[in-house]
Structure 1
Amino acid sequence: MSNDDFWASCQQVADSQLPELTAADFPMCFQVPSRGRMPQRSPTPPTRCYAYPPTPVVASAAAMERQRSASAPPPGSEFDSLSSMDVFSLLMADDGGEEEAQAQRAQQARLAQMQQQQQLHLAQQRAEQQQWCDAASMLVLQHARRQQQEASAWEARREEEQRAALQQQEQERQRWELHRWREQQEWQRLRQAEQQQWEAKRRMEGEAWERRRQEQAREWEALHGPRTRPQSLDLQRSSATSFTAGGSRSS
C-alpha cells in the first residue's frame, strides 16, 4: 500500500468524521493495525484513524489558528491530537485488545462446545432416564399382572378346596346317616326278635302249665270223682286264666 493510497484512505475517514477540517490539519494519519502489522489495502475505508498534531512546516497559519480557537473536538469525533507515545500505546492496546478478543472468541467457542456437549449429555441422560422409566413401568406392570394371576390362582384353589371340603362333609354326613339308619334297623330287628322269643317262651310256659293243670285235674277226678272238686282247684283255674290273658303267672 503506497503513501498516497494510505493518505487518501485517511483523508476519506477524516472528511467523513470531521468535515470542517482539511487535510493540512492532519498531515500524517495512522490506521490502527491488527496484531502489529501494517494496514493492507481494503475495499472499505479504515474504521479508525489517529493523527499527529499539525507541524509549522506543513500546516498553514489559518489551520493552526482554527486548531487553537477550537475549544473541543466536535461531538462524536474519534480523532484527537495524540503524541507518538500515545499512538504507540494505542497500537499496543489495540493489539492486546485483538488478542483478548481472540481469547474471548476462543473461550466463547469452548463454552459453546461445552454447552453443546452438556446438552448432548443431558439429552443422553434424559434418554437413559426415559428408558429406565419405561423399563421400570414394564416391570411394575409385569409384577402387577403376576400378582393378579397369583391372586386369581389362589382364589381358584380356595374355591376348589371349599368345594372339596363341602363334598367331604356331605359324604361324611351321608355315611353317618346310613350308619345311624343301619343301627336303628339292627336295634329294631333285635328288639323284634327278643319280643318274638319272649312271646314264644311265654306261650310255651302257658301251654306247659295248662297241661300240668289238666293232668292234676284228671288225677283228682280219678281219685275223688268229678262232682266234688276242692275250692283250690277253682282258684288255680282262675290263676291260669289270668296268666294267659295278662302274660304273668301268679303263685
Structure 2
Amino acid sequence: MPKWYRAEAVLRPVSEVMPNRLAAMEQPLNVSSLVEQILPTSRAEELMSTVESFQFSLAMVKNHHLERGLLGTKHWRPWNQHPDPSWEIFRTLQKRFSCDYSISTGNLTLYYQDRDRMLAQSILGFYIDDLRAKLREEQVRTTTATAKSLRDEAGSTPDTLLQQQLFQLIADQLQQQKLAMVDANFAFKVIDAPKASDKPYSPSVLMVSGLGFVITLFISCLIILTREPWTYGEGERELALASGRETRGDPAR
C-alpha cells in the first residue's frame, strides 16, 4: 500500500479590531461587533470557509503551478475524454486538505496529505501564504473604499466639527491599511509552522494487520463451510452403498 504523509500547521485567528473613534460612532448600530464578541469562533469559521473555497483552492494551485502534480494521469484517461480539470483538482484537494478549529484553545489547525513528505509540507505553506495575501488584499480594498467614502462625506458637509471627526476616521482607516500591508500577523498568527512527520500517516500498521487477520479468518471459515457439506455427502453415499450390499447379500462381498 502506498505511504501517505500528513503535514500540519497551527494558526491563531486574530479578531478584527475596529478603530476606537469609528467604534464609538457606530456603537449603537454595529451589531456585527457585538456578535464578534459573543461568538469568537466567527473569525475562525471565516478563515476555514475561505481556505476551503473553490476559488481560493484553484487560485493557489495556479499561483504555484501544482496542476500537473494534482491531476496526474486522470486528465488523459481514454474513458474520460472531456473532464473538467478545475473540478478534478478541487476534488483532489478536498480529499487531501482539511482544517479543524478548537474552541478550548482558540487555534485553527490545517492538514494536508501527500505521498511526498516535503511536498505536503510545502503545499500547506502555500495555503498559509496565499490566505494571508488574500486577507491583506481584502483589508486594503475595504479600508481604501471606506477612506474614500469618508473623504467625500467630509468634503460635502459644512459642519467643521464633523469634518474634523471624519478626518480622524480617515486617518484611522489609512493606519489600519498600512498595518495590514506591513504586519504579517494582522489576520492570524502562525503558532506552529507547517511540518510533516517522518513516519507515514497512512496506512496504519495496526489497522492493516487487524484487517488482514479478519479477512484471513473470514476466508478460512468460508472454505470450511463450503467443503463440509460436500465431505458429509460423500460419507453418506458410501454408507448407503454399504448398507445396500448387506441387505441384498451382495455376492461381491
TM category (shorter chain) comes to under 0.3
Of Structure 1 and Structure 2, the greater strand share is in: 2
For the pair shown, which has the larger CA radius of gyration, 1 or 2? Answer: 1
TM-score (norm 1): 0.27
TM-score (norm 2): 0.27
